[in-house]
A and B are shown apart, each in its own frame.
Chain A
Amino acid sequence: NAGVMQNPRHLVRRRGQEARLRCSPMKGHSHVYWYRQLPEEGLKFMVYLQKENIIDESGMPKERFSAEFPKEGPSILRIQQVVRGDSAAYFCASSPGPSFEQYFGPGTRLTVT
C-alpha cells in the first residue's frame, strides 16, 4: 500500500509567481491535512479537508493561500504571488476518517527566490 505522495518534492519559485503543491492520500483515506514547517520550527497546521469540503482552515493565511480536495484527483495547496516568507516545507497527511492518527507524506520544500 503506497504511502502519502507529494509532488513536487522541491519547488523553486520567483517572488510573485504561483506555487501548486499536490498531495495524494493513502488509498482509502478521504481526509487530508496540510501543515507548514518554517525553518527551525515545528509543524503548524494549515487546513483540514475532506473530499470536496474544507473542514477547518483556521491555520491558513487569509490571503494568497487556498486549498482544495476534489472528488477525483489529489489535494492541491495553492499559493498565489509567493513571497520569500513562504519558503518552507509543506507536509500533507491523511487519515481514513476524522482522526488524530495521521500519516505524513515526504513534504514539498518550497524555495522562493
Chain B
Amino acid sequence: AQSVTQPDIHITVSEGASLELRCNYSYGATPYLFWYVQSPGQGLQLLLKYFSGDTLVQGIKGFEAEFKRSQSSFNLRKPSVHWSDAAEYFCAVGASYGNKLVFGAGTILRVKS
C-alpha cells in the first residue's frame, strides 16, 4: 500500500531564509504527488502537483518541489520564507485505486522574525 513519510514534525526558520520540507513516498509505479498547505482552522490549499514530465515543479506562493525517483522523494522548497508562510504542510500521493489521496502526517512550519 502507498505511504507518505514527512520526517520533520516541526521546522523553524528565520524570515528570509530558505526552506526545504522533506517528503518520501512508497509507491510502485510513477506516482501522482501533491503538496498542500493548511493554515490554522482552515482547509487545505493545493500548492503544487506532479503527474509526469519535468521533475522540477513550480507552484503558487513561490514554492517549488523536485521529484527524485531514485530517492522516492518530493521535497518542497522556497528560497525566501515570509512570515505568512507559517502553517502546516502536507505531502500526499495518489493511491493506485479509487482516486484517494494518501497523506503524510504533516510538517508544522514556524517562521521567526
Chain A interface residues toward B at CB < 8 A: 4, 31, 33, 35, 40-45, 48, 55-56, 58-59, 91, 95, 98-107, 109
Instruction: Check: B61 CB closer than 8 A to any chain A CB.
Output: no
Q: How many residues of B contact A (CB 8 A)?
A: 26
| Known contacts A33-B99, A48-B98, A56-B100, A91 near B44 by CB under 8 Å | yes
A42's nearest neighbour on chain B, judged by CB, is B103
Instruction: Check: B32 CB closer than 8 A to any chain A CB.
Output: yes
Residues from chain A with a CB closer than 8 A to the CB of B36 are 104
| Top-10 shortest CB links A-B | A100-B94, A56-B98, A42-B103, A45-B100, A106-B43, A104-B44, A43-B103, A42-B105, A104-B43, A100-B32
Residues from chain B with a CB closer than 8 A to the CB of A95 are 99
Residues from chain B with a CB closer than 8 A to the CB of A42 are 4, 6, 90, 103-106
Residues from chain B with a CB closer than 8 A to the CB of A102 are 101
Chain B interface residues toward A at CB < 8 A: 4, 6, 32, 34, 36, 41-46, 49, 90, 92, 94-95, 97-106
Residues from chain B with a CB closer than 8 A to the CB of A99 are 99
Kindly provide the distance from the CB of B32 to the nearest chain A CB, expressed in whole angstroms. 5
29 inter-chain pairs at a CB distance below 8 angstroms, sorted by A residue, are A35-B101, A41-B106, A42-B4, A42-B6, A42-B103, A42-B105, A43-B44, A43-B101, A44-B103, A45-B95, A45-B100, A45-B102, A48-B98, A55-B99, A56-B98, A56-B99, A56-B100, A58-B98, A91-B44, A95-B99, A100-B32, A100-B99, A100-B101, A101-B49, A102-B101, A104-B36, A104-B43, A105-B43, A106-B43
